[in-house]
């Protein structure tokens, strides 16, 4: 099975409600889909969002990186040579992690199809059913409380609460949500780099003293402020998770050695795809550090790939934040992973199991 071409599409899915964080507001998924064709007729699918404020990738840069730098290297390559192909992708150009991730996802899809097995089994196997949390966007207190109660009533047992816009209001938001769902759901707090280190310690100590129990605090400070991240980790009881501070395996090693965080958030769009995500999980496992696997604003194409990784690496990926498909008004993908509110199920279909993508607009290039 050899690669003959790589094509592009644009996929748009309106969200049920605007996704609001300290960094941005999004009301529609608008992702680039990468379609890898082979001489056997098999097709692999990958996907990448334009998350410029986090990864630096835009729609244009994703298409340019894949079309001009990655595609020429891959034409004619045999899918069976997976390690060679992933190395060609990762060394094609610097950064551009979302573009690399989209191509890697499609290649891994084809690799598993080659052996007629679902991807998670090719990665080592595991339980094909996992459970995700759901995001509660930053908003007015009453709206966030109502959204939290609705999520719990729909079966979600973990809520990811977005804060980071106003420290005093953030504290009140969390207290109100905790009061509304206490005993029915775990709360994960995500500041999205919105606080300073001292603000984070102030907020967390206030919440802890008020009896608010949180499962974790995610990325309270700016991505490059590792000293600030460590400052928070050393001073609060709640486990601290690094997200935007860690993209690649070497950064993970540095962060763990600094003891700057307790948990690592793996996202395929940060790592540049599945190969580095697996490396990060293995490194964390060696150090006894737990991981979460998360996503950007993505559909069930790329999120499905993350699901397969989560199932295969459940020994170290103990927390799942793969709610992207649940946030959309509809699922454009036929086949593949089944997303049913908090429960995610992998089918026995080969690869990612994607049969069709509805509403896909093919792009030139």
Catalytic residue numbers read 162, 267
Distance CA 278, CA 293 (A): 11
| DSSP E strands, the chain | 3-20, 25-38, 43-49, 129-131, 134-136, 158-162, 186-190, 216-218, 240-242, 263-267, 290-294, 317-321, 333-335, 338-340, 343-345, 354-357, 361-363
C-beta of residue 70 within 8 angstroms of C-beta of residue 365: no
Phi, psi of 326 (to 5 degrees): -70, -20
Q: Radius of gyration of the chain from Cα atoms?
A: 20
Reference 269, options 137, 114, 38, 104; nearest CA is 104
Distance CA 90, CA 330 (A): 33
For the residues of 72-119, what is the DSSP string, one character each?
Answer: HHHTT-BTT-HHHHHHHHHTSSSS-HHHHHHHHHHHHHHHHHHTTSBH
């Amino acid at each position: 099975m050899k690669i003959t071409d790589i094509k592009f599409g644009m996929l748009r899915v309106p969200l049920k409600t605007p996704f609001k964080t300290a960094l941005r507001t999004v009301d529609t998924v608008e992702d680039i889909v990468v379609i890898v064709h082979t001489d056997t007729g098999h097709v692999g699918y990958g996907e990448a969002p334009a998350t410029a404020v986090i990864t630096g990738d835009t729609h244009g840069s994703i298409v340019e990186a894949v079309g001009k730098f990655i595609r020429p290297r891959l034409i004619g390559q045999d899918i069976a040579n997976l390690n060679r192909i992933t190395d060609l992708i990762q060394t094609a150009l610097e950064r551009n992690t979302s573009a690399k991730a989209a191509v890697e996802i499609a290649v891994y899809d084809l690799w598993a199809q080659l052996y007629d097995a679902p991807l998670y089994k090719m990665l080592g196997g595991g339980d094909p059913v996992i459970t995700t949390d759901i995001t509660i966007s930053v908003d007015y207190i009453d709206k966030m409380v109502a959204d939290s109660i609705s999520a719990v009533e729909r079966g979600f047992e973990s809520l990811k609460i977005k804060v980071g816009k106003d420290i005093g209001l953030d504290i009140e938001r969390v207290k109100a949500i905790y009061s509304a769902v206490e005993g029915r759901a775990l709360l994960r707090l995500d500041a999205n780099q919105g606080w300073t280190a001292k603000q984070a310690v102030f907020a967390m100590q206030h919440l802890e003293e008020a009896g608010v129990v949180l499962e974790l605090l995610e990325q309270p400070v700016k991505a490059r402020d590792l000293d600030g991240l460590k400052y928070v980790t050393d001073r609060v009881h709640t486990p601290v998770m690094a997200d935007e501070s860690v993209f690649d395996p070497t950064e993970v090693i540095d962060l763990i050695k600094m003891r700057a965080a307790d948990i690592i958030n793996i996202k395929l769009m940060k790592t540049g795809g599945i190969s580095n995500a697996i490396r990060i999980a293995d490194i964390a496992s060696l150090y006894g550090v737990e991981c979460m696997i998360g996503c950007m604003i993505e559909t069930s194409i790329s999120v499905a790939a993350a699901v397969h990784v989560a199932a295969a690496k459940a020994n170290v990926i103990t927390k799942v934040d793969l709610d992207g498909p649940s946030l959309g008004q509809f699922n454009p993908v036929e086949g593949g992973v089944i997303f049913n509110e908090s429960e995610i199920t992998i089918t026995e279909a080969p690869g990612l199991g994607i049969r069709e993508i509805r509403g896909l607009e093919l792009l030139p290039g």
